[in-house]
Structure 1
Amino acid sequence: MTGLPVRVPDVRVHVKMNIGACGPFAYIVATFEPPREDAALELQNSLPEDRLPPEYVPALREGLLDGLGTVAATVLLTDGRHHEVDSSEYGYRIAGQQAGRAALIGAGLLPPEECDSLRWATWPGRLRPWPGFVRPQT
């Protein structure tokens, strides 16, 4: 297992889907750092329960593991929010997966073109094409 080579701060994921009247909602902000231990993922959550209820943390962790794949990292949750009605484990699983992939792109482990598939994630340095943008073929 490889480790994340550099720090990727301020990865923000805001999952907000409207399927019918409501849909999955999740919001997290995380800083990804190179791993400190041999674990695949060290998740540090210091958010109060009113910002991120503990029942969503396992789904978030599962999504992070999926998004990071075989890359180990330390993840510090710096902000989060939930919605009393629309938040679900599904939304936090999506948020974790997108945050993990965003960190890999931010660290240079995935090509920048991969950011096109991340609908809800932003991070410093993200390429944000305009509607109708067609990426040149290289």
Structure 2
Amino acid sequence: MPAGDLGAVAKLAETMTGDTLCARDHPVRLAPIDFPAPAIAMAIEPKSKADEDKMGAALHRLAEEDPTFHVRRDAELKQTVISGMGESHLEIMADRLRRKFGVDVTLRPPRVPYRETVRGKAQAQGRYVKQTGGRGQYGVCFIEIEPLPRGAGFEFVDKIFGGAIPNQFIPSVEKGVRKALEDGILAGYPVVDVRVTLVDGKYHEVDSSDIAFQLAGALAVKEAATQAGLILLEPILDLAVRVPEELMGDIIGDLNAKRARIQGMEPQGDGTTVVKAQVPQAEVLRYASDLRSITGGRGSFTATFSHYEPVPAHIAERVAAEARRQKEEAESHRA
């Protein structure tokens, strides 16, 4: 085939986009194409169990065919996230899933990785006792919870003395506490930046068990955290937006509407300015589309994680309610 012509070859089972096709006796490899980074991400959810079974393989096939289309599984948020060059691109991929693979899906903004923590200090009892004849279950513990500085994570302190809880059951209490905090208490997001202290407990010579103290630990930490006062934390991003100078006012106005804090502006000497800001991740899930609309495609941005901080109360109530709704929806879907 002469240079400059376009050709078509059917049923190439081992080739992928970006491969070089050449003659055996004249091997050549063209430089790989530098594909642009994805501009937008969406969560993709199957509409039924049958769709769920087929969706993973179908998405893998689409990603092989289109290098600008990316698929990843977010283990923490339990979502499959797809990324592409724009909303239309992702909608086309969803339509291809339906037409080519028979997989019906829903697209929605990806969940935000919120966190929970406590306001103050509190103590509570966790009691898991089932004794109705024969071998029963018996585990009682008293724990104290208190906040730690932001970013400190989780600490478990054992202050049991005098054998109130045998040593072999201390890890059981910690395991139950950790599981309860990982699952979340207020809205189903991990509880972080807390110290949990095991201060006392009771056991039974026969009926105490690993599972009884796990459940007692979980019950105790949930009650203590509720008494201490739970708050929601949201991820804050460092945002740098490069735009033509004449559009700075529009960009700053839009960022202010997104609860952003403007950190500064840096003229670039080429008619553009970089606006630096800190903004809640929840406010910029579709920022690529928003920026394109404001600038007519003449703007660009980068965003990196900075830190967590408390969510305003009126927004936290809405987030918690939505998290509960999604949990109920997921449970009904599994049923």
TM bin, normalised by shorter chain, reads 0.5 to 0.7
Tell me which residue corresponds to 1:46: 159
- In the TM superposition, what are the counterparts of 1:1-138 in structure 2 within 5 Å? 1-9=115-123, 11-35=124-148, 38-40=152-154, 42-48=155-161, 50-69=163-182, 70-72=190-192, 73-109=194-230
- Paired with 2:145 and 2:226, the residues of 1 have a C-alpha distance of 12
Q: Cα deviation per residue 1:43-102 (whole Å; 9 max; x = unaligned)? A: 211212621111111111111012223112211222112111111001000011111211
SS at 1:65 equivalent: helix
Q: Is the 8 A contact 1:67 1:99 kept in 2?
A: no
1:32 positional shift: 0.8
- Paired with 1:102 and 1:74, the residues of 2 have a C-alpha distance of 15
After superposition, the CA RMSD in angstroms is 2.1
Give the TM-score normalised by the residue count of structure 2: 0.30
- Paired with 2:131 and 2:118, the residues of 1 have a C-alpha distance of 34
- Paired with 2:230 and 2:169, the residues of 1 have a C-alpha distance of 28
- Which aligned segments of 4 or more residues in structure 1 are displaced greater than 6 angstroms? none
Structure showing greater relative contact order (alpha-carbon pairs closer than 8 Å, 6 or more residues apart): 1
Alignment size in residue pairs: 108
Please, which runs of 5 or more residues in structure 2 have no aligned partner? Answer: 1-114, 183-189, 232-335
1:109 positional shift: 2.6
- Paired with 2:118 and 2:229, the residues of 1 have a C-alpha distance of 10
1:21 positional shift: 2.3
Identity of aligned residues (%): 25
Q: Is the 8 A contact 1:68 1:104 kept in 2?
A: no
SS at 1:3 equivalent: strand
Give the TM-score normalised by the residue count of structure 1: 0.67
Q: Is the 8 A contact 1:3 1:35 kept in 2?
A: no
Aligned residue type for 1:91: A
SS at 1:57 equivalent: helix
Aligned residue type for 2:128: V
